[in-house]
């Protein structure tokens, strides 16, 4: 006998005033929300015992230093906020692939002191969380078009954002450990 699988939806929560309100974490997803809240908390540990020289060192391959990877993570927060804002106001906007070397603001971000990058990154992360946290299911389902990955919901863009960020934090760790 075949059984059909149905998706379970989280039940709305009734407020004291009797109105329904979706549980925010069920809209964003508990794991995704936790990643947004905590992923950057590991940066001090990644940079622990690293000298300024190790953080700023660019390998012979020409790849980015740990400092540049952190600047990219911070700058990409601004790009992500712009993208989500467009997805909330436009229908399926085509969002070009972000390339730092084509970004006129990238040189100014890369030139900042590491401490300033980290300060701005904390502020920008709070802005990302503040933008996403109140979104409804319908809003999280709004889409934008990535040139490689195609049409993606805000939910999937946010997962992509965290994976992309995690990659750059990993590379920053590799750089400081190799050069420290």
In the predicted model, is pLDDT for residue 15 greater than 60? no
Kind and range of the H or E run holding 146: strand 143-146
In the predicted model, is pLDDT for residue 22 greater than 60? no
In the predicted model, is pLDDT for residue 59 greater than 80? yes
* Residue that wins the pLDDT comparison between 10 and 157: 157
pLDDT band at residue 4, thresholds of 50, 70 and 90?
Answer: very low
Cα–Cα distance for residue pair 139/27, rounded to 1 Å = 10
In the predicted model, is pLDDT for residue 69 greater than 60? yes
Q: Are 162 and 36 in contact (CB under 8 A)?
A: yes
- Return the pLDDT at 180: 67
- Return the pLDDT at 115: 97
Question: Where do the domains of the chain lie?
Answer: 29-179
Residue-wise pLDDT tens digits, 33-54: 889 999 999 999 999 999 999 9
Q: Where are the alpha helices (DSSP H) in 14-153?
A: 24-28, 30-38, 43-47, 52-56, 66-89, 106-110, 114-132, 137-140
Q: Which of 47, 105, 75 is nearest to 165 (CA)?
A: 75
5-9, 23-27, 82-86, 125-129: least confident range: 5-9
Q: Are 119 and 126 in contact (CB under 8 A)?
A: no
Cα–Cα distance for residue pair 73/114, rounded to 1 Å = 12
Our CA angle for 12, 17, 22, nearest 5°, is 20
Q: Stretch 79-105: mean pLDDT, rounded?
A: 96
CA dihedral over 129, 130, 134, 139, signed as positive or negative? negative
Q: In whole numbers, what is the pLDDT of the chain averaged over residues?
A: 87
Residue-wise pLDDT tens digits, 122-178: 999 999 999 999 999 999 999 999 999 999 999 999 999 999 999 999 999 999 998
CATH class of 29-179: mainly alpha
């Amino acid at each position: 006998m075949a059984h059909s699988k149905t998706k379970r939806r989280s039940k709305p929560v009734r407020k004291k005033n009797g109105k329904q309100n979706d549980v925010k974490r069920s809209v964003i997803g508990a794991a995704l929300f936790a990643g947004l809240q905590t992923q950057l908390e590991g940066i001090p540990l990644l940079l622990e015992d690293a000298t300024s020289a190790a953080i700023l060192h660019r390998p012979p391959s020409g790849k980015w230093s740990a400092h540049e990877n952190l600047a990219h993570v911070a700058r990409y927060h601004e790009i992500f906020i712009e993208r989500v804002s467009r997805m909330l106001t436009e229908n399926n906007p085509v969002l070009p692939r972000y390339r730092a070397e084509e970004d006129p603001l990238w040189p100014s971000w890369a030139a900042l002191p590491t401490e300033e990058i980290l300060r701005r990154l904390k502020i920008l992360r709070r802005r990302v969380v503040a933008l996403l946290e109140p979104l409804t299911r319908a809003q999280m389902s709004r889409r934008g078009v990535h040139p490689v990955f195609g049409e993606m919901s805000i939910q999937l863009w946010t997962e992509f954002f965290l994976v992309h960020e995690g990659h750059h934090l990993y590379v920053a760790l590799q750089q400081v450990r190799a050069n420290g």
